[in-house]
Structure formats: C-alpha cells, structure tokens
Structure 1
Amino acid sequence: MTRRQIRENLYKMLFQVEFHDKESLRTQIEIYLEDLEMADEKDKRELRDKFNELVENLEDIDAKIEEKANGWTINRIAKSELTILRLGVYELLYVEDVPNKVAINEAVELAKAYGADKASGFINGILASVVKEVSE
C-alpha cells in the first residue's frame, strides 16, 4: 500500500472512535483489517500500530486541536473534520518520517474527499498553527 492508502485507511479506522466503546472498537478495527484485501500483513501491522499510538495519544491530540481551533470545542467540530484533524496533528507531532508540509497537504486532500465544502481551509489553518508552534 502507498502512504496515501495507509493514511486513508487510518482515517477510516479512526472515524470509528466516536461510535464505539473501547472494547467494541478493538473488535471493529480487527474486522476492518481482516476485510482489507489490498493490504498485506506488513500494511495491517503498520495500520494497527499507528491506530493504537494515535488512540493512546488522543487526549493530547484533542487538547492541541481545541487550543488551535479558536473557540471551537471538539464537540462542535464535524466528525469527519475532527477525524482528519486528529490524523493530521498525530502526523505532525508523533510521526517523524512525514514532513510537515506533506502531513498538512494530505489532511487537506482528505478534507476535500470526506469533509464539507470549506473544511479544507479550516483544517489547513489549524494544522498550520500547530506547525508554527512546533517550529518555534
């Protein structure tokens, strides 16, 4: 799988966080990975590892999103956009082999595919704010 395919599948897995408790979420993720025909075992392991790391850091990621979203709480952000932001912030803060510009660009592309009409600008602004803070 390409990095983009990994990222898109991770987005789909992460989207489920809002709809399942911890126990059923693990079951749903395993079902998702079992049904993922284009992924080999290495890809599935990478997806599982990244998903688990992301979920483990979700509280910090959400806090960073709220900090940068200027008056928007996590509960006010549409689930699709929230999921994209979570993935983007995760890549910016926890994944060292993804350049910041790539992480932002990929998040914007996901927003164009899965978000509302103006979601890409909203996501770009928040992620750019995270990058600015990290760079300082």
Structure 2
Amino acid sequence: MSSAEARRLSHARRQARRVAMQALYQWQMTGYEPKDILLQYRDDPELEKADREYFRDLLLGVTDEVTDLDELLTPHMDRAVEQLDPVERAILRLATFELKERMDIPYRVVINEAVELTRKFGATDAYKYVNGVLDKLRRELREI
C-alpha cells in the first residue's frame, strides 16, 4: 500500500469512527435497533469520505458486544459505565471494541483517535479520563 493510500484509509477510518460514535450515542439515547440506525445513516453526507464498511462493523460490533465491552471497562473506571457522560461512554465502548477486536490497528492509534474524539465532542477535560482508562485497558488486552 502506498503512503497516499494509507493516508486515505486512515482518514476514511477516522471519519467512520466519528460517525460511529454519533450513531452509538443515538443508540444509547433512543434505544433504536442498530440496523435501523444504520439505515438512517445510509445517505448521511458525513459518510461520503468515510470507510462505510468500517462504520458498519463498528456500530454493529459495539452494539452486539456491549455487555462484554462494559465488563472489560468496569475494572479500569472509578464509576459505573452507566454513570459516564453518554459521549464518553460511546467513545470508550468504541475504542474498547477496537482494542479487543481489531488487532490490525495499533493500540496507540485506537487510543489517540478516542482522545481526539473526546477532545472534540466530550466535556472539557474528559479526554484525560478516556486516555487513562484506555491505557489501563490496553495493558489487559494487548501486549506492548
């Protein structure tokens, strides 16, 4: 893969994560079926430059495995998953899914992407909390 292709894939996945985080937020707040949410995003302009398949895998993967993901997160947090701000909860679940299931993506990329999403959409200093939780979880799920 050329460096231009790698950059394009990186940008497409970054965009897929962003839209997946928004879709997960919607799922958490409304309780709609993930497949219905997927249909709602079908024509979303945000997905034009995104890796659509990756978006789909993230949304369906997180919603299918949410109980396991929450169990992985819980020992590394100072509060219950349900007590988290919904934006941070969606981001942590998304990143946990990637750390657990996507060994092809370096853990540093997963954590960095989660921190950047939190900086953009989360509370002021929430990115520090997300970074700390994911760093602890990374030690459990991935070898250095």
| TM-score relative to the length of structure 2 | 0.82
Deviation track 1:30-89 (CA, whole Å, cap 9, x = no partner) reads 11222336527x93333223311121111111111212103x001211001111101111
Ranges in structure 2 where 5+ consecutive residues have no aligned partner: 1-10
Q: What value does the CA root-mean-square deviation take over the aligned residues?
A: 2.0
Once the 2 structures are TM-superposed, how far is the Cα of residue 15 of structure 1 from its aligned partner? 1.0
Equivalence for 1:95: 102
Ranges in structure 1 where 5+ consecutive residues have no aligned partner: none
| TM-score relative to the length of structure 1 | 0.86
- Give the count of matched residue pairs: 133
Amino-acid identity (%): 30
The answer to whether structure 1 residue 18 and structure 2 residue 17 are counterparts is no
Once the 2 structures are TM-superposed, how far is the Cα of residue 127 of structure 1 from its aligned partner? 0.2
Equivalence for 1:5: 15
Matches within 5 A, 1:1-136: 2-23=12-33, 25-36=34-45, 38-39=47-48, 43-70=51-78, 72-135=79-142
| CA distance in structure 2 between the aligned counterparts of 1:78 and 1:45, rounded to whole angstroms | 27
Post-superposition, which runs of at least 4 consecutive aligned residues in structure 1 deviate over 6 A?
none
